[in-house]
Structures are given as structure tokens and as C-alpha cells.
Structure 1
Amino acid sequence: MTDTQSVRKLYQPVHPDTLPRLDPEFAAFWNANNAYIVPLEQQPWDPACRQSLVLGGPEPPKVGKVEDVQLSKFDMRTFTPEGGPPEGGWPVFIYLHGGGWTLGTIATSNAFAANVCKRASCVVVSVNYRLAPEDPYPAAVEDAVEALHWVYDNGKSLLNANVSKIAVGGSSSGGNLAAVLALEAVQADPPIPLIFQLLIVPVIDNTASPLGVPFPSWAENKNTVQLTPARMLWFRDQYLPNQVDRAAWRSSPIFAPEELFGKLPKACVMVMELDVLRDEGVAYAEKMKHAGVEVEVKLYKAAPHPIISMDGVLQIGRRAVADAIQALAQAFDTA
């Protein structure tokens, strides 16, 4: 061991309580790339941290066309498959990236978006919504809604898309925005028909407590890796500095009016065993099921929060991405 290595401080080791339950590939990647980094919530805020994320994603596959579209206060990136569209146009997937409403860009979700485009044979619209703390709630919701209306109004003419086959989805904070967007679509005037929701490790209740009330996974996974309770609360504070907003359904979709749930499209909710957010995702799925919505819940054993973006380095990440794409492709095929 060199002198430099001997004095390196271990800021984010895998906790002994978590290590025996954690996917070994994830543990090895984490220890090699993230364990010596000062946790985000312990640093002074610097927007430059958005450019230095260590994700573990693959190189994006080649698709037919990639274009950026500017909207009022944000932009989007569209991915179009190779070849000609099916009769009626390409299905559309509106994707909202993760990052605690604070991190992430359309660039960090390029690989996932391109993979979905190529393997589910659909146009993907990746939304570069505004981020906190510069633009807190409800800026991201407003951008997601604007993106949906743009796709519905312009998708046929500008994307060669079939706007009767629109799905929405996202990961983590993006899963939160996708759930909210599906509820917004129901009450648009006139309503915008969606065919599917893909909710990957979604944030569903921004009033949840680290004490495990009402979701035991917060306490059970208090020593988890990556999305720790402290980091999740830090993200919450950046996005929702006004506490009164945390129980609003546009930030916590589980509190949406009961009459909206039965109008939602079918959904796939993907949750990770070692994620503090696991139980709120399951609770949201159960609430939709109770309202008569067809919902599939996929639970990934030994997995912490971020594996959907780590398919370049983790077998379990590749499986999760494949499952997400299969769910979307099936939804498009049966719509």
C-alpha cells in the first residue's frame, strides 16, 4: 500500500449490517469507485457535482436519430429507432431521469433512453426538467406536464409518433414525476390517454420518516448504501424547502384524490430489496390495484436503490433494464 492509499479516508463504506445482504458485484464496484467520496449531503452545494457522477452505465447503442428540442424553460432529447415506423407511427415513451430532483441530466440517461428506443422499438423523449435547489418544486412537475402536452400535440407531425400509444416512466425522483404526470394526464382538459406507467424505485411519499412510519423499509434499510436516509432527506430539503408542499399530491402522489386512481393506466413498479423507498413503491402499487388498475410489482433481491443505471457493470442491473424494456414493449404491443 502506498502512503497516499494509507491516508485515504473511507467516507462511505458498506455497513457491516448491509454487506452480507448486498449484491457482491455492487459491493465491489462501490468500494472501487464511491467509498472514498465525501457524501453529497456533507459537502457545500456546488452545481458542478452534477458533472462528476460515477454511474456504471454502458455506452448507448446506435439508434436512428437523436435530436434535442427546446421548450419554454427546459429541453428534451428525442431518440427515434432505425428504419421506418409501424403503421400509425412509433409508440412513445416519455422518460424522467433520477437524481433526487437535484442531480442528473438527459446526458446521464442517454444509455437507458437509447436502449429502450432500440429494444422496445419506440420513440423515447427524455425530459431535461429543471433541477433544485435552483428551481425547487413545482418546477420539475411543470416541465413534465409541458413535455407531455408537447408530445401529445406535436408527436405525430414532428416525431412520426402514434400519440394513442404514450407511456410515461422514470427512476427514483423521475419515477415520482412519472407517477404525478400520469395523474395529471387523467385530469387534463381533455384527458390525455396514456397506456402505461413504468415506475422504477419511485419516490411516492415525501412525508415518509426514517423511523419507518408508515414504511418499514426506511428503518430496515437505515444502513443501506448509496441512497441512505440522510441523502434522501437532503434531496427532499432541496426540492421541497417548504414543508407544507411535502404532503401535496403533486410531490407525494400517494395522496392524490381517490377518484383519480381508477383512471390510471396499467403499471409496472420496480423496487429494490435494500432501498429505503421499497415499501412506498409497493404501497402505491397496492393503492392502484385497489382502484382496479392492472399493476405488476417486481422486487429485486440483494439490490440497493441505483441499479437501473448500472447495467454496464452489474448483472442485476442488466436484468432490471431488460425487465423494464420487456414491460414497455409488451404494453405497446397490447395497446
Structure 2
Amino acid sequence: MLHPQARALLELIEQRGVPPTHTLSVDDARRFYRERRFFTQPDAPHTGGVEDLRTGGGIPLRLYRPLVPLRSGPLPVLVYFHGGGWTIGDLDTHDTLCRELANGSGCALVAVDYRLGPEHRFPAAVDDSMAALLWVQANASSLGLDATRIGVGGDSAGGNLAAVTAIAVRDRGGPRLAFQLLIYPATDMRCIAASHVTNGQGYLLTSDTVRYFHDHYIDDRKHDLDWRASPLLHPDLSRLPPALVLTAGFDPLRDEGLNYAQRLSEAGNRAASVCFDRQIHGFITMGRVLDEARVAVSLCAAQMRAELAV
């Protein structure tokens, strides 16, 4: 059953004639995504400090320090990749969530403003994600971060990039990651899981919008089979960091996340799977209108703290 608050939100969107993302130009979709956050997101909480940075290659980053640090000295850090279908979203659209996760965990967080499609297609976002992670690791000491306690995380497309980066780092031999936070991640670009059919219409993220995002990121269907686009298809998911995989019951991507969590566990990793059965895709940023979003944020922050503080 759909949560009454989620149902009310969907009804309001329909009553106001809000255009579906797939009907918009890329520029309009980006602008609309930035603007609508003020309606659904909580007020941005104060933190212990926010600093805009750039990697040596020019990738914009934003470093968040928690209001109450987990400990004195270098802080554990989560490198975070925002959602938005590899096409929309930026440091500002996920600023509140990043602040909440930093404060809730007592850890630092570095958000990554990776390149987007269609201007920069696959694997540009993967390359930027990897470069950003390596830059954070190399510069951890000067930033007051603990280079031995680094995790990756993200929501939706960002969850995809976090999963892919965790595999890529393992395959190159380091740095060893301590945690991966995968919030309703896209893990299979073929979009063949049953939830793409059962949840394909009526729940904000539709099959049409999924296709819109896919086609702005992937320019050749053969890339759907590349594990850097579809981490679920990697033949070896062993020796990966502990994971929390969070999914939503009325999300087209639900089964991809559940399947990925299962594959991680079957490969011998510690992986917890939590599904918010009554929620829709994107709900975790909507704490102003969805009570369960705040619960989800608290859960993610607590798991960050538990895994990164060891």
C-alpha cells in the first residue's frame, strides 16, 4: 500500500499539472529539479562547515563537516554522488541531504559534481566519480580526513556510480573502502526487472522518464552490458565493502536494488537490504512532506557512523 503522504504528493503533482521530466528539454528539466526542491526538502541544517573544492582535474566538490564530529582528529568520510539520471542534479539539489548525513553520522562528506549527459555521455560520470574518490584519498590528510576510513554513497544514478566505483577501486587494488551506501540504485541498464513494469507508471519516476535518462547517458545499447553502466552484470561481486542498500516499494528500480543486495550477500559481502515498502523513488530527499524520508536519512546516517567509525 502506498503511504498516504506519498499518495497526497502524487495527487498534488497531478492537480497542479506538473510536467513529467521526460517531456522537458534537458535545460528545463535541470532548472525544474533545482527549483522544486524547495517544496519537498526540509530546510538545510547548519553544519560544522561547508567548503567548495575542486580536484586537480577541475571536478567541483563540496566538503561537509558535521556539527558534532564523531571524534577529534581526522574524520571518516563518505564520497557522495547525487541522483538525477546522470542528466540532472548538482551539488545544490542534494545539499540538504548531504548536510543531514554528515550531521547524523558525525562523519565528513564530500559531494561530487560529476559531468552529466547528454553533453558528457557514459563513461564520463564514472571517470569523474573515480577521479574524485582518488583525489579525496590523496588529499585526505590536508583536509583533516581519515584516508583509511573512506566510503562511497549515492542515490539513484548516484547509487549506480557508488556501486561502480566500489568495484573499480577493488579491481585496481585500492584504496580499500570501508562502506557503500546505495540508495535506490540503478544497477541494470537493461531495465528488465519486474518492478519496471509494475511500477512503471503513476509513481513519479515512470518508465518514460527512465528511458529519457538512459538515452541521455547511454548512446549505444551495447553499453548496457558494460558493468560500468550495469554493476549487477559484473561477474565477480566479491571482496566489496559492507553495504546498505535502501529501496522503495513503488519504485521502478526496486528490484534492481534488491537483486544487487542479494548478489552482494551471495558473493560473501556484508550487505543489508531495507525496503521502504510504501514509498516512491526519490523519497529520501522529501523530508518536508514525507515523514519516512527522515527515518530513512537517520537509518543511513547511523549505518555510516557504524561502518566508518570502526
Q: How does 1:16-165 map to 2 (within 5 A)?
A: 21-33=1-13, 35=15, 36-43=17-24, 45-53=25-33, 54-55=36-37, 56-71=40-55, 72-82=57-67, 86-157=71-142, 159-165=143-149
2:31 counterpart letter in structure 1: Q
Determine the structure 1 residue equivalent to 2:153: 169
2:186 paired residue among 200, 203, 213: 203
Asked if 2 retains the 8 angstrom alpha-carbon contact of 1:85 and 1:160, the reply is no
Aligned residues: 304
Change (3 A) 1:218 1:48: closer
1:285 paired residue among 252, 255, 261: 261
Change (3 A) 1:84 1:292: closer
Determine the structure 1 residue equivalent to 2:284: 308
Asked if 1 retains the 8 angstrom alpha-carbon contact of 2:46 and 2:99, the reply is yes
Cα shift at 1:87: 4.8
Asked if 2 retains the 8 angstrom alpha-carbon contact of 1:57 and 1:309, the reply is yes
Change (3 A) 1:84 1:218: closer
2:7 counterpart letter in structure 1: A
Cα shift at 1:111: 0.5
Determine the structure 2 residue equivalent to 1:10: none
Q: Distance between the aligned counterparts of 2:272 and 2:42, measured in 1?
A: 27
Asked if 1 retains the 8 angstrom alpha-carbon contact of 2:68 and 2:106, the reply is no
Aligned structure 1 segments of 4 or more residues deviating by more than 6 angstroms: none
Cα shift at 1:322: 1.1
The DSSP-based 3-state class of the residue aligned with 1:132 is coil
- TM-score of the two chains, using structure 1 as the length reference: 0.87
Q: Distance between the aligned counterparts of 2:122 and 2:156, measured in 1?
A: 16
Asked if 2 retains the 8 angstrom alpha-carbon contact of 1:197 and 1:266, the reply is yes
Asked if 1 retains the 8 angstrom alpha-carbon contact of 2:26 and 2:88, the reply is no
2:191 counterpart letter in structure 1: A
1:328 paired residue among 256, 279, 304: 304
Q: Distance between the aligned counterparts of 1:151 and 1:286, measured in 2?
A: 30
2:131 counterpart letter in structure 1: E
The DSSP-based 3-state class of the residue aligned with 1:68 is strand
Structure 2's unaligned 5+ residue stretches are: none
The DSSP-based 3-state class of the residue aligned with 2:279 is coil
Q: Distance between the aligned counterparts of 2:110 and 2:71, measured in 1?
A: 18
Per-residue CA shift, 1:181-205, capped at 9, x if unaligned? 10011022x4111011110000000
Per-residue CA shift, 1:121-160, capped at 9, x if unaligned? 1111000111111111111101100111001100111x20
Cα shift at 1:255: 1.5
Cα shift at 1:64: 1.6
Cα shift at 1:289: 0.7
Cα shift at 1:52: 2.1
1:230 counterpart letter in structure 2: D
Higher RCO structure, 1 or 2 (CA under 8 Å, sep 6+): 2
Determine the structure 2 residue equivalent to 1:243: 221
Change (3 A) 1:84 1:278: closer
Q: Distance between the aligned counterparts of 2:8 and 2:69, measured in 1?
A: 43
Change (3 A) 1:329 1:253: same
Moved more, 30-39 or 178-187: 30-39
Q: Distance between the aligned counterparts of 1:269 and 1:125, measured in 2?
A: 20
Identity %: 33
Determine the structure 1 residue equivalent to 2:164: 180
Asked if 1 retains the 8 angstrom alpha-carbon contact of 2:283 and 2:290, the reply is yes
Q: Distance between the aligned counterparts of 2:30 and 2:270, measured in 1?
A: 36
Higher Rg: 1
Is residue 218 of structure 1 aligned with residue 199 of structure 2?
A: no
Change (3 A) 1:37 1:291: same
Q: Distance between the aligned counterparts of 1:324 and 1:295, measured in 2?
A: 13
Q: Distance between the aligned counterparts of 1:95 and 1:40, measured in 2?
A: 24
Change (3 A) 1:230 1:83: closer
Structure 1's unaligned 5+ residue stretches are: 1-20, 210-214
Alpha-carbon RMSD: 1.6
Determine the structure 1 residue equivalent to 2:251: 275
Is residue 234 of structure 1 aligned with residue 215 of structure 2?
A: no
Q: Distance between the aligned counterparts of 1:27 and 1:286, measured in 2?
A: 29
2:220 counterpart letter in structure 1: N
Cα shift at 1:31: 2.8
